[in-house]
Structure 1
Amino acid sequence: MNKKKIFNFDTEFLKINNDISKVSEELNLNKEQSRQNRDTLKSLEKELIKLGLTREMMPSSTLSNQEINVYSEDYFTRLSTGIEKEILKEINSSTNLLPPISKLDYVMALLIGFIGSLVDILMVKIPKEINYLGKYLQEGSSFTGWLRSLGIDEDGSMNEFLAKLEKVCKVSYDVSTTDKLGDYGREVSGFYPKTHRLMSLGHDPFFGFIFGLIDIFNGSITVIDSKGIIHNIPLDKFQETPIENKIFAPLLWLGHLCSDVCTKMGLPIPGWGFTQVLQFGSLGENDRTLAELTKWMYLEGYDLRHFLSMGIVPGTIELLTKIYFRCTLSKEELASPIYAKNIKELQNHIRLEKLLFIAHSVATSGNVIKIILHQGNPLSFNMAELLGLIKQSVRIGQMSSRDKTGEIIVRNRERINSEWGKI
Structure 2
Amino acid sequence: MPKKRIIDFSEELNDMQTSISDLSSTMERLDNNAEEQSDLLKELERRLSDIDPSFIAEPAKFSEHPFKVYSSQYFLEQSEEIEERITQEVHSNFQLLPPMTKLDYIVATIIGAIAALVDILLVKIPKDVTYLGKYTQEGGSLTTWLRTLGVNEDGKLNGFLSNLEKNSKVSFDASTKNAFTEYDREVSGFSPKTHRFMSLGHDPLFGLLFGVLDIVNGRISLIDSKGAIHLIPIEKYQNPTFENMIFAPFLWISHILSDVCTKMGVPAPGWGLTQLLQFGEFGEKDRTVADLARYMYLEGYDLRHFISMGTVPGIVELCTRIYYKLTLEKSDPFTLTYSKDLKEIHNKIRLQKLLFTAHTTATGGNALKIVMNQGNPLAFNYPQLIAFTKQSIQMSVISTRDKTTEKIIRNREQINREWGNNYI
**Measured at CA, do residues 421 and 177 of structure 1 come closer, stay the same or move farther in structure 2, by a change above 3 Å?**
same
| Alignment partner, residue 63 of structure 1 | none
In angstroms, what is the RMSD of aligned CA positions? 2.3
| Alignment partner, residue 341 of structure 2 | 342
SS in 2 for 1:146: helix
Alignment map for 1:65-144 (pairs within 5 Å): 72-144=71-143
1:392 aligns with 2:409: no
1:333 aligns with 2:335: no
8 Å Cα contact 1:171-1:216 kept in structure 2 = yes
1:12 to 16, 21, 36: 16
Q: Give the alignment's TM-score, normalised by structure 1.
A: 0.86
Separation (CA, whole Å) in 2 of partners of 1:104 and 1:5:
40
| Alignment partner, residue 188 of structure 1 | 187
8 Å Cα contact 2:98-2:346 kept in structure 1 = yes
Letter in 1 for 2:86: I
Structure 1 residue 23 displacement after superposition: 7.1
| Alignment partner, residue 292 of structure 1 | 291
More displaced stretch, 135-144 vs 80-89: 80-89
| Alignment partner, residue 405 of structure 1 | 404
Separation (CA, whole Å) in 2 of partners of 1:110 and 1:398:
22
Structure 1 residue 95 displacement after superposition: 3.1
Structure 1 residue 16 displacement after superposition: 4.1
8 Å Cα contact 2:180-2:235 kept in structure 1 = no
**Measured at CA, do residues 302 and 70 of structure 1 come closer, stay the same or move farther in structure 2, by a change above 3 Å?**
same
Separation (CA, whole Å) in 1 of partners of 2:105 and 2:95:
18
| Alignment partner, residue 166 of structure 1 | 165
Aligned length: 387
Structure 1 residue 88 displacement after superposition: 2.7
Separation (CA, whole Å) in 2 of partners of 1:245 and 1:381:
39
8 Å Cα contact 1:201-1:223 kept in structure 2 = yes
Structure 1 residue 317 displacement after superposition: 0.7
SS in 1 for 2:370: helix
| Alignment partner, residue 357 of structure 2 | 358
Letter in 1 for 2:105: Y
| Alignment partner, residue 310 of structure 2 | 311
8 Å Cα contact 1:179-1:185 kept in structure 2 = no
Letter in 2 for 1:177: T
More displaced stretch, 80-89 vs 278-287: 80-89
**Measured at CA, do residues 228 and 27 of structure 1 come closer, stay the same or move farther in structure 2, by a change above 3 Å?**
farther
**Measured at CA, do residues 26 and 367 of structure 1 come closer, stay the same or move farther in structure 2, by a change above 3 Å?**
farther
Separation (CA, whole Å) in 1 of partners of 2:352 and 2:122:
26
Alignment map for 1:259-298 (pairs within 5 Å): 259-298=258-297
Please list the CA deviations of residues 155-195 of structure 1 after superposition, one character each: whole Å capped at 9, or x if unmatched.
11100110110111111100000111122165111100000
Q: Which runs of 5+ in 1 are unaligned?
A: 32-67
Structure 1 residue 27 displacement after superposition: 9.2
Q: Give the alignment's TM-score, normalised by structure 2.
A: 0.86
Separation (CA, whole Å) in 2 of partners of 1:207 and 1:403:
34
Structure 1 residue 266 displacement after superposition: 0.5
Please list the CA deviations of residues 38-82 of structure 1 after superposition, one character each: whole Å capped at 9, or x if unmatched.
xxxxxxxxxxxxxxxxxxxxxxxxxxxxxx997531342243133
Please list the CA deviations of residues 278-325 of structure 1 after superposition, one character each: whole Å capped at 9, or x if unmatched.
111110011111111110000001111001011010001111111111
| Alignment partner, residue 250 of structure 1 | 249
8 Å Cα contact 2:149-2:261 kept in structure 1 = yes
Q: Which runs of 5+ in 2 are unaligned?
A: 36-66
Separation (CA, whole Å) in 2 of partners of 1:28 and 1:286:
100
Separation (CA, whole Å) in 2 of partners of 1:338 and 1:92:
23
Separation (CA, whole Å) in 1 of partners of 2:28 and 2:373:
84
8 Å Cα contact 2:223-2:229 kept in structure 1 = yes
8 Å Cα contact 2:147-2:261 kept in structure 1 = yes
Separation (CA, whole Å) in 2 of partners of 1:292 and 1:308:
23
Alignment map for 1:207-246 (pairs within 5 Å): 207-246=206-245
Structure 1 residue 332 displacement after superposition: 1.9
Letter in 2 for 1:368: A
Separation (CA, whole Å) in 2 of partners of 1:244 and 1:408:
60
Structure 1 residue 14 displacement after superposition: 4.2
Letter in 2 for 1:74: Q
Query: Percent identical across equivalent pairs?
Result: 56
Separation (CA, whole Å) in 2 of partners of 1:153 and 1:117:
33
More displaced stretch, 394-403 vs 250-259: 394-403
**Measured at CA, do residues 158 and 85 of structure 1 come closer, stay the same or move farther in structure 2, by a change above 3 Å?**
same
8 Å Cα contact 1:178-1:186 kept in structure 2 = no
Structure 1 residue 341 displacement after superposition: 2.0
| Alignment partner, residue 47 of structure 2 | none
8 Å Cα contact 1:224-1:277 kept in structure 2 = yes
Please list the CA deviations of residues 329-358 of structure 1 after superposition, one character each: whole Å capped at 9, or x if unmatched.
112212222222222222111111100000
More displaced stretch, 403-412 vs 122-131: 403-412
More displaced stretch, 138-147 vs 336-345: 336-345
Structure 1 residue 17 displacement after superposition: 4.6
Structure 1 residue 211 displacement after superposition: 0.9
Structure 1 residue 30 displacement after superposition: 12
Separation (CA, whole Å) in 2 of partners of 1:241 and 1:141:
42
SS in 2 for 1:257: helix
8 Å Cα contact 1:125-1:141 kept in structure 2 = yes
